[in-house]
Structure 1
Amino acid sequence: MQIIFFIIISYIVGSIPTALIIGLKFFNKDIRNYGSKNLGGTNAGRVLGKTVGIVVSAIDVAKVFVPAYIAKRYIGINGAAIAGFFGMIGHCYPLFAQFKGGKAVSSFFGIVLAINLTIAAILATLWFILRYITNYVSVASMISGFVASFMFLFTYGFSIPFYVLFMSAIFVVYRHKSNIERLIKGTENKFRNK
């Protein structure tokens, strides 16, 4: 079945550890030994610099977006949503980095971008606004994920894209459990201080 093919390809492409590769190749640093120790764009930005963080985030979006978008062209938005979800799983539990990856935020955006450009633009805008207001990347990520999933409910009804995005939003919160603990303790890193 085509969907199985796209699931496998999406997971493999999602598993490419962008931050690890860039850190080792250009900075001789394994960012798994620094900061939050995860392979996401936020940690890459803190450890290797803001520009690197942006590059890592952009590539992490692309590695989920591209397979999901191709799936959309061939098997529709349901297939795109499912393929994108497995790309996100690959990013968080990468085959090529001992199954320890990022926190799913860029991946989540990659899924949305592949399915609905308008919702993706609103999601990006909301994320930046929430980050500015709260001063926390983690809070902006968790809230905007749920808002985006309900935008899918409004647009597509109780459909596979909605269920996948809602489940993905819950997964984003799960991946931020350590951030939630720090938020409760008042020790979470603020964006403007980094």
Structure 2
Amino acid sequence: MSAAIWAVLGYLLGSVPFGIVITRLLGLGDLRQIGSGNIGATNVLRTGHKGAALATLLLDSGKGAIAVLLARWLGGEAAAVLAGAGALLGHCFPVWLGFRGGKGVATFLGTLIALYWPLGLAACAIWLLSAAIFRISSLSALVSVGTSPLVALLMGKGMIAAAALFMAALIFWRHRENISRLAAGTEPKIGRKG
């Protein structure tokens, strides 16, 4: 199969809006009308249903991992990298939601774990360390995502580093409003409202 097909298949898998599906199945309303309007686990948590948020987190990370593992099985390592990048693109810009999707952090982490688990675990550890120090979820995500291409290079994974750089750029773009609030000092801390 051609590279483009793997990227498209990853995109289609990544664009499944699990947050919307789960909240509708549980009768929690239209997720796009709640909180930030985002389709990811953080916004699902704003419904007050922790189980739904956890399920969204696992499924959003899982769809990136499944895209990678399926492509690797059928097409090799280059196909896996393309499918993973496609899955993140699909999550952030799903065609059936008018290209208004999530911010991509869970899908990114699931993709990295499947591409090269030491890198994925390193990204998770960086997120946890940043969260412990700064107590700001979005900042922790940006630190983790932003350092992943460099960590991949240090681990000798050049192709994955290139994909991680592409994915990091997407995630930074999706976090534009968070970055503005971080610069203004108004981004909420973990466990606090407002």
- TM-score by length of structure 1 reads 0.92
Return the alpha-carbon distance in structure 2 between the equivalents of residues 8 and 68 of structure 1: 12
Secondary structure at 1:39's aligned position in 2? coil
- Once the two structures are superposed, what CA deviation does each residue of 1:37-93 show, in whole Å capped at 9, x if it has no partner? 111111111234333222101100111110111212233322211111111111011
Q: What does residue range 31-42 of structure 1 map to in structure 2 within 5 Å?
A: 31-42=31-42
* RMSD over aligned Cα atoms: 1.6
Return the alpha-carbon distance in structure 1 between the equivalents of residues 57 and 28 of structure 2: 19
- TM-score by length of structure 2 reads 0.92
Return the alpha-carbon distance in structure 2 between the equivalents of residues 110 and 99 of structure 1: 21
Aligned to 2:185: 186
Higher helix share: 1
Task: Determine if contact 1:92/1:99 at 8 Å carries over to the other structure.
Answer: yes
Q: Which amino acid aligns with 1:59?
A: L
Distance apart, 1:96 and its partner CA: 2.6
Return the alpha-carbon distance in structure 1 between the equivalents of residues 56 and 48 of structure 2: 10
Distance apart, 1:9 and its partner CA: 1.6
Secondary structure at 2:95's aligned position in 1? coil
Unaligned residue ranges in structure 2 (runs of 5+): none
Q: 4+ runs of 1 displaced by more than 4 Å?
A: none
Distance apart, 1:174 and its partner CA: 1.2
Return the alpha-carbon distance in structure 2 between the equivalents of residues 36 and 112 of structure 1: 26
Task: Determine if contact 2:17/2:91 at 8 Å carries over to the other structure.
Answer: yes
Matched, 1:172 2:186: no
Identity percentage of aligned residues = 27
Unaligned residue ranges in structure 1 (runs of 5+): none
Task: Determine if contact 1:77/1:161 at 8 Å carries over to the other structure.
Answer: no
Matched, 1:133 2:130: no
